Amino acid sequence: MSENLDKSNVNEAGKSKSNDSEEGLEDAVEGADEALQKAIKSDSSSPQRVQRPHSSPPRFVTVEELLETARGVTNMALAHEIVVNGDFQIKPVELPENSLKKRVKEIVHKAFWDCLSVQLSEDPPAYDHAIKLVGEIKETLLSFLLPGHTRLRNQITEVLDLDLIKQEAENGALDISKLAEFIIGMMGTLCAPARDEEVKKLKDIKEIVPLFREIFSVLDLMKVDMANFAISSIRPHLMQQSVEYERKKFQEILERQPTLFFTDSLDFVTQWLEEASEDLMTQKYKHALPVGGMAAGSGDMPRLSPVAVQNYAYLKLLKWDHLQRPFPETVLMDQSRFHELQLQLEQLTILGAVLLVTFSMAAPGISSQADFAEKLKMIVKILLTDMHLPSFHLKDVLTTIGEKVCLEVSSCLSLCGSSPFTTDKETVLKGQIQAVASPDDPIRRIMESRILTFLETYLASGHQKPLPTVPGGLSPVQRELEEVAIKFARLVNYNKMVFCPYYDAILSKILVRS
């Protein structure tokens, strides 16, 4: 997830590492409203939000209160994104082609540069606008410097002395080309290696107006680079403080304006945990999950462990109906991540089911041939790549997969000198592969159950290495399954650390009743 972010704010956050830890984290996310505005909307705004029940009656709020609360949500989401997403980077905003915003921006910019061109064409030239631009460039270059860059700071301050430049302009002694040459040289010194080519191209531009225009364009890219550098620098600092920071911000939002973003008693978290508790108690998913969640209680009636209920609740997020059901409040910022894992597991289930029926139908030794097994897996994975697009038709694709798999199996058996794959076996295999399209297919259900068992075991193990043994039939997709398990466990573990006080309070009431 990448949005445009004002570099100076992030840079200030990076410099605040020496301050108090809580203030440092506040600075790190302050002023970043635009950076995650789209992410907040995509993760938290959906039709079902309107239907959420409220434990307290709604009240009127002022615009100031709404903006303050929204800023708190945005800052919390930004800190969360930086910590959870190791690949988080800021990218320049690219307005859609032919959009109103882009047209307005182009018109305004053209008018500005045309005005500058007219001023410089006067006799004698008027440098008012040009000097203002030099002042902006000076401030930008200074913002790139670290505290130890004393010599560079002195050079910029001395050469780009606005008072001196104004005097030179008034006396007709200003050499704007010489200033531009210094600016380009300083940009080359401060820019990231990836920007060397853009800075080099500036030296080939001879006309002042186009040159200044391109200088600002490259400076914008350098701001983004500096922002990403600042983020990578403050990430370890954020990691140390983010748990307390997120919990504090969440509580502030809950107390300030609960009805705007969450229900004040976390109704959907409560419902989510209650369902998990009831499902475990009634053994609704007895064959999908081990009964390791039971702890010995007083009497013969087993007692549920709070940890087991939480783990099971997180597993339920991997089977969530995102269109019909509101997501629990405490995992709302990670809804897109849980949804992505859910889609990956659905694809992995289909892939595993296809490979299982194929290796079961083929000759006994064919699955032990690593090259063939890997080749077959890659073929099926490629054909399932667009599985979750609206235009994708699983049944039709499985028909194609069946044809392709039978060809590959026949070819492999022929090369190995084994008995040929008969027509009857091909027909049966194609039928079994096509049957996987149904969620109720026994093979598909077995694969799904074993995958959930593996994930539950991994959560219960405390994420220790080595990973738990992969259940039978999942060996061909072991690598993919372990990658998903590690991502899932990291997400769960971080969420637990932030929101454990809320879960403990809710579960203490639920488990007393059960």
DSSP string, 243-291: HHHHHHHHHHHHHH-HHHHS-TT-HHHHHHHHHHHHHHHHTTTTTTS-S
Please give the single-letter amino acid code of residue 151: R
Largest CA distance in the chain: 100
Specify the 3-state DSSP secondary structure of 33.
Answer: helix
| DSSP run (H or E) holding 369 | none
Residues pairing with 295 in the sheet = 303
Phi, psi of 13 (to 5 degrees): -65, -40
CA 325 to chain centre: 22
pLDDT for the residue numbered 243:
85
Cα end-to-end distance, the chain, whole Å: 41
Two tokens, residue 228: 């990403």
Q: Among 470, 72, 71, 100, which residue's Cα sits nearest to residue 245?
A: 72
Tokens 């203490």 correspond to what residue?
A: 508
Q: Are the C-beta atoms of residues 185 and 178 closer than 8 Å to each other?
A: no
State how far the Cα of 362 lies from the Cα of 67, in Å rounded to an integer: 63
pLDDT for the residue numbered 512:
81
Q: Among 503, 26, 68, which residue's Cα sits nearest to residue 241?
A: 26
Tokens 């998990």 correspond to what residue?
A: 276
Q: Are the C-beta atoms of residues 330 and 495 closer than 8 Å to each other?
A: yes
Please give the single-letter amino acid code of residue 299: G
| DSSP run (H or E) holding 432 | helix 423-435
State how far the Cα of 461 lies from the Cα of 510, in Å rounded to an integer: 24
User: Could you tell me where the DSSP H helices lie in 144-207?
Assistant: 150-159, 162-170, 176-190, 196-202
pLDDT for the residue numbered 441:
95
Phi, psi of 295 (to 5 degrees): -115, 150
pLDDT for the residue numbered 19:
42
Specify the 3-state DSSP secondary structure of 303.
Answer: strand
| DSSP run (H or E) holding 3 | none
C-alpha R_g of the chain: 30
- Name 397's Cβ contacts closer than 8 Å, sequence gap at least 6: 383, 384, 387
Q: Are the C-beta atoms of residues 399 and 354 closer than 8 Å to each other?
A: no
State how far the Cα of 509 lies from the Cα of 514, in Å rounded to an integer: 9
Whole-Å CA distances, 278 to 47, 271, 284, 313: 27, 10, 8, 11
Residues pairing with 488 in the sheet = none
State how far the Cα of 135 lies from the Cα of 141, in Å rounded to an integer: 10
Please give the single-letter amino acid code of residue 254: L
DSSP state of 172: T
pLDDT for the residue numbered 514:
58
Specify the 3-state DSSP secondary structure of 304.
Answer: strand
State how far the Cα of 477 lies from the Cα of 49, in Å rounded to an integer: 37
Positions of the chain with pLDDT under 70: 1-76, 239-240, 257-264, 283-302, 363-365, 367-368, 463-465, 513-514
| Crossing angle of the two packed helices 478-513 and 306-316, in degrees rounded to 10 | 130
Specify the 3-state DSSP secondary structure of 459.
Answer: helix
pLDDT for the residue numbered 36:
37
State how far the Cα of 472 lies from the Cα of 478, in Å rounded to an integer: 10
